[in-house]
Structure 1
Amino acid sequence: MKEQGKIFGGLSIFILAVAITYGLWSKEAAGTTALFLAFGLCIFIAFYLGFTARRVDTGAGDNPEAEVSDDAGEQGFFSPHSWQPLGLGFGGALAFLGVIFGWWLLYWSLPIILVSLWGWVFEYYRGENQNQ
């Protein structure tokens, strides 16, 4: 994680330089704002990765002498049979269509998003997937 944090730190410095240069040359507000927002997102990710790297064990990615097989094994838990992301994707697509065709589409998309999000968060607290 330490190396990935350094990569995002370098990327954020590059994006900041591009944002400043673009802003001074073009005098265009939308692109300059987008580049500064991209800089902010890269800083957030770099900070998170650096902050987390100090609190977890060093992975094989941070060891220059590590082999690829050193990082093998379980990487985490991923829900294998969840239908909730499909509902979230459908609700999100409907919400973005609302930006194009009319804000009234949010009346249908927001309940779909909220129900799918609720179902995804509490998927393993009820029903057949409930942990004992």
Structure 2
Amino acid sequence: MKIQGHMFNWLAGFILVVAIVYGVWSKEPVGTTALFLSFGLSIMIGYYLVFTARRVDTGAQDDKDADVADDAGELGFFSPHSWAPLALGLGSMFAFLGPVFGWWFLFFTAPLLVIGLWLWVFEYYRGENQTQ
């Protein structure tokens, strides 16, 4: 995980240089802002990955002499199937269509968003996935 963090940090440095050069030469605020925001997002992801790599065991991707089989085994906990992301995705899609058709459209999408969020938050408090 450490190498991925360093790659994002290198990418952030490159984007910062490009943002400065682009901003000075073009004097165009929208593209310059987008590049600086891309720099910020890249540096945040890189920092998170480097910070997390210090806390977890060294993975096979960080060892130059590792084989592919060294990374086999359990990778972590993944949630079981859930309908909540589908409900949230549809609700978000319809909510973003609200300004297109009219703000009244949001009144019909808000219940779908609330139901999806409720399902996602309380996913492990009911049914077969209920924790004791």
Pairwise same-fold verdict (TM > 0.5): yes
How far the C-alpha of 1:75 sits from its partner, in A, is 1.6
User: Which residue of 1 is the match for residue 39 of structure 2?
Assistant: 39
1:41 CA displacement: 0.3
Count the aligned residue pairs: 132
Q: Residue 37 of structure 1: SS of its match in structure 2?
A: helix
Deviation of the 1:31 alpha carbon: 1.0
Amino acid at match of 2:82: S
1:1-132 equivalence runs, <5 A:
1-132=1-132
Name the CA distance, whole Å, in 1 between partners of 2:93 and 2:79: 22
Q: What whole-Å deviation, never above 9, does each CA across 1:34-87 have from its counterpart, x for those lacking one?
A: 110110000100110111111111111111111111111122222332111111
Worse-matched range after superposition: 118-127 or 3-12: 118-127
Distance 1:34 1:99, change over 3 A: farther
Q: Secondary structure at the match of 2:55?
A: coil
Show structure 2 runs of 5+ residues with no match.
none
RMSD: 1.5
SS in 2 for 1:79: coil
1:131 shift after superposition: 2.6
| Counterpart-to-counterpart distance in 1, 2:126 and 2:84 | 14
Q: Which runs of 5+ in 1 are unaligned?
A: none
Q: With the length of structure 2 as denominator, give the TM-score of the two structures.
A: 0.90
Q: Relative to 1, partners in 2 of residues 1:60 and 1:15: Cα closer, same or farther, differing over 3 Å?
A: same
